[in-house]
Chain A
Amino acid sequence: MMSQPLRIGNAQAFWGDSPDAPARLLMQQPHLDFLTLDYLAEVSLSILAIQRERDPSLGYARDFIEVVRTLLPFWQNGSKIRVVTNAGGLNPEGCARTCLDILRSARCDPLKVAVVAGDDVAAHLKGDARNPLFKHLESGKSLTTVADQLVTANAYLGAPAIAHALNAGASIVITGRVADPSLTVGPCMHHFGWKLENHDALAGATVAGHLIECGTQVTGGFSTDWLATPDPGNIGFPIAEVRADGSCVITKPPGTGGEVNERTVKEQLLYEIGDPGNYLSPDVTLSLLGIDLKTLGKDRVQVRGAKGRAATRTYKVSATYRDGFKAHAMLTIYGRDAVAKARRCGTAVFEKLKRIGVVFERSEIECLGTGACAPGVVSQGDEKFMETVLRLSVADSRHEAVERFTKEIAPLITSGPQGITGYTGGRPKVQSVFGYWPCLIEKKKTPPRFRILS
């Protein structure tokens, strides 16, 4: 006999995703078991670090607090929905406290809120920069080259601590950095009682988590065939119906836009993947090579055949370090020889700045609309364009140099070619640049822990 599958939705793929998606998904699917909400991209934590510098009570994704407000009516009306999110960022405790305050004031405080900690490994990296595990995973460079500029370092924790928190009765689990699929694997371990030795089941759930973690990217968003995707303005967020063996069905609520078919699932399956035979997660190492897809009905694709083996003894760490400043400026140029005029504007700005002694460590001139996303790969001939957007960028370790650049854009309105426009956003902003430093850490060095807040 087939038992009921566990129904896990994703309604937030990144920090900045549609704010009403969680409440909308729950309205469409009242009997969903879990909502997973993903807020952290590779360098998100460096943005949170800046916020925390200004105010130590911050350092988490505040958008999540607004999401909690939108979910209150569901809980007040008896919904059993449980939420697992990495919105905690650098301050899961602070995020959970704020969350608890809101639940209290709405009289939803019988709900338990848990935090998962242990991902912050900045002290380990700072104190042991020569450790070979802390070398840059891609370039092999020693951490000593950037250790002084280190801002954040967080291990991608796994599913067990999330499962333990759920076992203890938490309705909302707030983590810092965890591997994105673990937000889905945690509820599965809790529900099905899997152990870390259930490699194939964990592999299947990891695939399910991987497929839904980017939200609408599996329901027709970002697809090659997007232009033919129905009703994109009402695109549905994904649901994984996971079975006890780890296989799943990917679907979306009826009546929503977008589509789930073997193509959309395939595309997302290999999204941001390295070796498909050797996908490393903190919970399991898995192979995608034997995965079978089967269409079960409209917007229903079954996914099975993931093979797991024991996870590695290390966590992946994503660290960030300060790497100077940058600014981007954009202007629109219209008319005959628009592209030639745009390029001349760009070189004129840099020549002017060079004359006063400002030369940048890195700079870029792009003419958007002419194939600037892949210059030299797909060439189209500059002469044929009547219009382009000139995009000028600089990066430098000196804040004042970058700031000086931002003041040389507006003068082009009167000194540049006829047909220049689009200068409406004011002076470009000087932004901090954060380098990304992926490395490893031994799991035993940073044991995950959870705590129910009261």
Chain B
Amino acid sequence: MRVANKFPKSSIRLGEIAFARSGDKGSSANVAIFATSKRNYQLLHLVLTAAVVERYFKPLGVGKVVRYEVPHLQAFNFILPDILAGGGSRSLRIDSQGKTLGQVILELKILVPKISQVKKRKR
């Protein structure tokens, strides 16, 4: 982060450099993030921390977020405890099973160093 701070930054949508999938486990959910290149993985490794994801999902009542790294697949798996307000049959929310959380997190704005010339997704 400190290194990146030296350079001018621009704001992009996470969905421009990553794809995602989410699902439920009881009242919790997971969302996996897949960087579109090795370089984007390294960038996300710095900026897409568990704390950032936890702050983003706070309005949904998420607990302590854990991030697992899967460098081989250029992926991260985030565990989102208690984000589903009961989950399954109990939750009253329209998305009781966390199906939309992948699309939700891809809207996250992240600051990336302008110098890195981040390659964006085509599809």
Question: Footprint of B on A, CB under 8 Å?
Answer: 42-43, 46, 137-138, 222-225, 228, 263, 266-277, 288-293, 305, 323, 326, 328, 362-364, 366, 368, 372-378, 391, 393-395, 431, 433-436, 438
Contact = CB atoms under 8 A, between A and B. Distances in A.
Given A138-B28, A374-B104, A291 B72 contact: yes
B37 interface: no
Contacts of A291: 72-73
Given A435-B90, A436-B89, A272 B23 contact: yes
A372 B104 CA distance: 11
A305 B70 CA distance: 13
Contacts of B21: 222-224, 267-268, 270-271
Contacts of A289: 70, 72
Nearest to B36: A263
A23 B4 CA distance: 56
B72 A290 contact: yes
Given A225-B123, A270-B70, A290-B72, A374 B100 contact: yes
A46 B87 CA distance: 15
A279 to B, nearest CB: 11
Given A225-B19, A270-B70, 8 more contacts: A224-B19, A263-B19, A267-B20, A291-B72, A291-B73, A373-B95, A434-B88, A435-B86
A137 B27 CA distance: 11
Nearest to A327: B92
B41 interface: no
Nearest to A330: B94
A233 to B, nearest CB: 20
Contacts of B70: 270, 276, 288-289
A96 B70 CA distance: 42
13 contacts: A42-B26, A43-B88, A43-B89, A223-B21, A266-B73, A290-B72, A305-B72, A368-B94, A373-B94, A374-B104, A376-B59, A377-B107, A391-B94
Interface in B80-107: 81-82, 86-90, 92-95, 100-104, 106-107
B32 A271 contact: yes
Contacts of B123: 225, 228
Nearest to B107: A378
A377 B56 contact: yes
A326 B25 CA distance: 21
A391 B30 CA distance: 25
B106 A366 contact: no
A42 B88 contact: yes
Sorted nearest first, the 7 A-B pairs with minimum C-beta distance are A376-B59, A270-B32, A224-B19, A272-B23, A393-B92, A267-B21, A373-B100
B92 A326 contact: yes
Q: How large is the interface on B (under 10, 10 to 19, 20 to 34, 35 or more residues)?
A: 35 or more
Nearest to B66: A275
A112 B30 CA distance: 40
B44 to A, nearest CB: 15
A266 B34 contact: yes
A378 B77 CA distance: 21
A397 B82 CA distance: 21
Contacts of A272: 23-25, 30
B115 to A, nearest CB: 27
A363 B104 contact: no
B60 interface: yes
A289 B25 CA distance: 21
Most buried by B among A272, A376, A394: A272
Given A43-B89, A362-B92, A373-B94, A273 B60 contact: no
Contacts of A372: 94
Nearest to A318: B26
B68 interface: yes
B79 interface: yes
Contact of B94 (A269, A366, A438): A366
Contact of A438 (B26, B57, B92): B26
Given A225-B19, A395-B92, A436-B89, A374 B60 contact: yes
Contacts of B103: 373
B30 A270 contact: yes
A293 B72 CA distance: 9
B43 interface: no
A435 B107 CA distance: 31
Contacts of B94: 366, 368, 372-373, 391
Contacts of A137: 26
